[in-house]
Structure 1
């Protein structure tokens, strides 16, 4: 199995387990900058050099040796499950991707046909019923996760605990898991624990949001997208995420965590 979704700086100063929709573009660019003193020109997910990634075959031995010996500080980042699944919908389903096409080719037409989802288009200024379409998308997301139909679950809406657990189950150990909602504070704590070839001043680092500007803007507050059925589905899909990462299930509008993450508990429950 190895360490899918794991990135490491070339200097091996730090190891990061990517969790999609949780500031991964910003984190990747900070890691790249900390080695090279410049940002990667383009989306960091497209970088095939200047950084070790598990998806690059030549990087796998170095990552595996480092992680199994816990040679470097290892971390990841989490986000409120309500906000994360909404972001996945607006970016991947309703939005147009960087290449000017819809995400995963025929996925959106399939959703329109099978689940009655509408997503609008740039031509009509993305004019569609966001709440109805999002709730139908949530049914689809649940079906992919629960029954792997009509397709395997996508990394952007599968549970954070699933991503995070592969690292632990295959022999990795986290030193830090921080919140997207407290990004600067959490990222600074990571930087304080590592030595980088190039010093990083977080105050001068821009935010890298690769999904911004490609689709419709969210028109309502978070809670308006989640009726009783939607919240039931969210609990079914993300129960572990709420519990382990201390997010507020009862109030979808409260994006902030309600407690601190217990790393020992995360390792015990996700490593089993």
Structure 2
């Protein structure tokens, strides 16, 4: 029997209006009543998941968990204090930040506190405003963050071909050597500390809870979800997932994120509906 279901948020658990479909709420509740844990696993900060936890009925629970920053940070749903955290070495963060300035992209600099937004373009403001604690900046270097923990840096652009070109050029220049680099949300290029990925985060949480890897399910839609799709006992991709995520999955949903794909997985493999 599966004992833990981990799910990505954007374009997977959440519909295009950034809410949890009622079908998913009902399925998570029924699974929870059977003792099956449901764990949001996102690239975003933990505090940005609060509304989702409320919708799922998991807010404030000391026995339930959230994996944020692509599995690099683990929190109980009852407390904002991280049980585990990760960070980019400051000099690596400096090179990535200054390259982002040169490329002219919008950047998220994720810390254990606010998310600092460089070149906060209108398209990104409309997409994320109100969902996380944001501080705007146009500083040309990250020196103003010296002494803070920089968890990861994200480049944002609606031109995926431009992000792909940036990734190639940065790799050729050796700027990303050893880092975990992913795409997410069809608009982000993410730079994470070495060894930080959703698969490692899922397996670490499962071990903490005494759950075997084969007793876990993971659901996702994009390249930053591939590691947990592969690590889980059952890896699933939603119908709107990228080809890369679908190729990694054991099961590809018929439903997309708007039609409650996560509920489809829970109904089929946990509830036996």
Same fold, TM exceeding 0.5?
no
Structure of greater Rg: 1
What TM-score range do you get, normalising by the shorter chain? 0.3 to 0.5
**What TM-score comes out, normalization by structure 1 length?**
0.32
The structure with the largest helix share of the pair is 1
Q: Greater RCO between the two (CA within 8 Å, min separation 6)?
A: 1
